[in-house]
A and B are shown apart, each in its own frame.
Chain A
């Protein structure tokens, strides 16, 4: 087992709002290994993005507050790092690709300037010619046609897919060890999504970065991820190897997610959604946060009183369900979807 490049331990993040304290992330721990692709799935508001943003010191404080936990990056705790050093890491050794490429590029600055800035901020004293050369090379890596000309264009002259390519070029400008992709394809249409997935693979190939892929798209996970973390209501409910999770999920929530997806191969009249709504993060259900929506719980006392801990379900596979043994024989219809 290699030393993890990023190790998050017991991270707890809260937001103070008028209605009460939102427990956005509640004591989560996970490791990111060098060069791997880690997929984080979950519904909106499950704390996927907040956990990564708080690692980078990018959540607004206040109202946000990192209550507890540490994030060890190459052995150093990012939470205790001086602001200046953390800033040097951002965009350098840890880079991020945002969700919406239409709004993530500054409309009044040339694309080349923005890519060049990512290079300049982290490499003092690099000449303009060198910056341009590297910027054009980056655009070529991410598959922007005609990069030399595109370098001097403004974001409004780029299409959505091209902009996301440019964003990825910015993110890999300094060969990061960790590349955080926060729903990188959500704002794009399906054909462009497929292209961006290829670009991410190329980018990873070029830089050997570990990719943390935050998404609610199980298809994207199947396509890209090596390992998967499933989050629900600010907690990790299941984690493991992507093949294992897709073949034999051991948490009712993960099963629910997979059941609610249509497949192209099987005859289905209706989709089976997870009943109910995601819980309020201000007043989380006691015990297992998923129990009001769970088919396995069916009113059992323990689900309502005890918070389930992550425990082994064979190998690296972890699940936070009191009754995960009962799911032993379950086979997902998505088995074999992961590549």
Chain B
């Protein structure tokens, strides 16, 4: 496509800068020579992420595991509550595809873990979504308006941070009732937004001083437009990283809550609940604790690696150079 020499393109380019008259045909000639591929920041971020081997590997594992969990009704070899007393207490084996063994009632633990992943991941996504929405809104408003609005919102955030998490979780679970995965998700979501609020506020405070925000204001943009169209896209990096890591944290917290009996109730399978049910007989049937436990570890580990990779990709300035 380049039958012009680079030299002639340069001259054409410099002529193009001279005046608007007759620019049309010149720019046509220019177009045929030096085409520039439009690369967004996302293109660069994706490249940086792809260079992060561990994160890419983790992402693949995560997609497989979460995919299997979300598609449990198709993937799982057995229903999660299918009782089969003839095969009770079988250890991990390839016979009949009891990969994670069975419990005393003969329920297939591989299937139960898959359904458990489904529940836990659904909960975690709702938690992350809630935390991101609340945290971003609080942080953005506080950082943009500053003065007393900032003061009020941030003191409230501080207050939320001082609350002893587990105690509040247990109390809230007791008051709001537990059982429904969504109720657990909402309780966690309302507790986990504080970090993000602080991050977003900090970003907004520094963005507020940028020339391009002044320029946007001088162009007649209103407060909301400046906050959400101009400033928010500049903090998407930290927000995405936070959301990823929060999914991991939420899976852990939900598991602890369920393990303690304040989270999701049987018969709905959840990872923490499976461990709790397995621990009574864990001396004989170690797989009932180990399999769901390792699943949690695998998921959370992968999420954290992906989160780290995303941080390096989206915010190169924060990278710790090895």
Contact = CB atoms under 8 A, between A and B. Distances in A.
A89 B220 contact: yes
A146 B218 contact: no
Contacts of A117: 216, 219, 221, 225, 229
B38 A92 contact: no
Contacts of A106: 212-213, 216, 230, 233-234
Interface in B19-44: 19-20, 23, 26-27, 30-31, 35-36, 38-41
A157 interface: yes
B13 interface: yes
A214 to B, nearest CB: 13
Interface in A80-99: 87-92, 95-96, 98-99
A185 B42 CA distance: 31
B220 A92 contact: yes
B167 interface: no
Nearest to A153: B38
Interface stretch (A7-15, A137-145, A253-261): A137-145
A332 interface: no
Contacts of A108: 41, 233-234, 236
Given A90-B218, A98-B214, A145 B233 contact: no
A163 to B, nearest CB: 11
Interface string B274-285: 000000000000
Q: Is the interface of B mostly helix, strand, loop or mixed?
A: helix
B27 to A, nearest CB: 5
Interface in A123-144: 140-141, 143
Interface in B180-232: 210-222, 225, 229-230
Interface residues of A, number: 42
B322 interface: no
Contacts of B38: 149, 152-154, 157
B16 interface: yes
Contacts of A87: 220, 222
Contacts of B20: 140-141, 143, 202
B220 A140 contact: no
Contacts of A171: 219
Contacts of B218: 56, 58, 90-91, 95-96, 98
Contacts of B16: 143, 145-146
Contact of B219 (A95, A154, A195): A95
B185 to A, nearest CB: 31
A91 B220 contact: yes
A286 interface: no
A55 to B, nearest CB: 11
A56 B234 CA distance: 26
B17 A145 contact: yes
A171 B234 CA distance: 23
B30 A98 contact: no
Contact of A88 (B40, B220, B230): B220
A147 B28 CA distance: 10
Contacts, number: 110
A202 B225 CA distance: 31
B211 A143 contact: no
A197 to B, nearest CB: 13
Give the interface residue-count category, chain B.
35 or more
Interface in A230-261: none
Contacts of A95: 218-219
B109 to A, nearest CB: 47
A145 B225 CA distance: 30
A56 B216 CA distance: 13
A36 to B, nearest CB: 21
A167 interface: yes
A145 B19 CA distance: 10
B217 to A, nearest CB: 6
Contact of B19 (A56, A90, A143, A167): A143
Contacts of A143: 16-20, 23
A149 B13 CA distance: 14
A103 B221 CA distance: 17
Interface in B248-275: none
A98 B212 CA distance: 9
Nearest to A93: B220
B41 A154 contact: yes
A96 B217 CA distance: 10
A121 B220 contact: yes
B211 A98 contact: yes
A154 B19 CA distance: 23
A107 B212 CA distance: 9
B214 A167 contact: no
Interface of B: 13, 16-20, 23, 26-27, 30-31, 35-36, 38-41, 210-222, 225, 229-230, 233-234, 236
Interface of A: 56, 58, 87-92, 95-96, 98-100, 103-109, 114, 117-118, 121-122, 140-141, 143, 145-147, 149, 152-154, 157, 167, 170-171, 195, 198, 202
Given A88-B220, A195-B17, 13 more contacts: A58-B214, A90-B218, A91-B221, A95-B218, A103-B210, A103-B212, A109-B233, A117-B229, A118-B219, A145-B16, A152-B38, A171-B219, A202-B20
14 contacts: A91-B220, A95-B218, A98-B211, A98-B218, A106-B230, A117-B216, A117-B229, A118-B219, A118-B220, A145-B13, A146-B30, A153-B38, A195-B17, A202-B20
Going nearest first, the 9 A-B pairs with the smallest beta carbon separation are: A91-B220, A91-B219, A145-B16, A103-B211, A96-B218, A90-B220, A106-B212, A108-B233, A104-B215
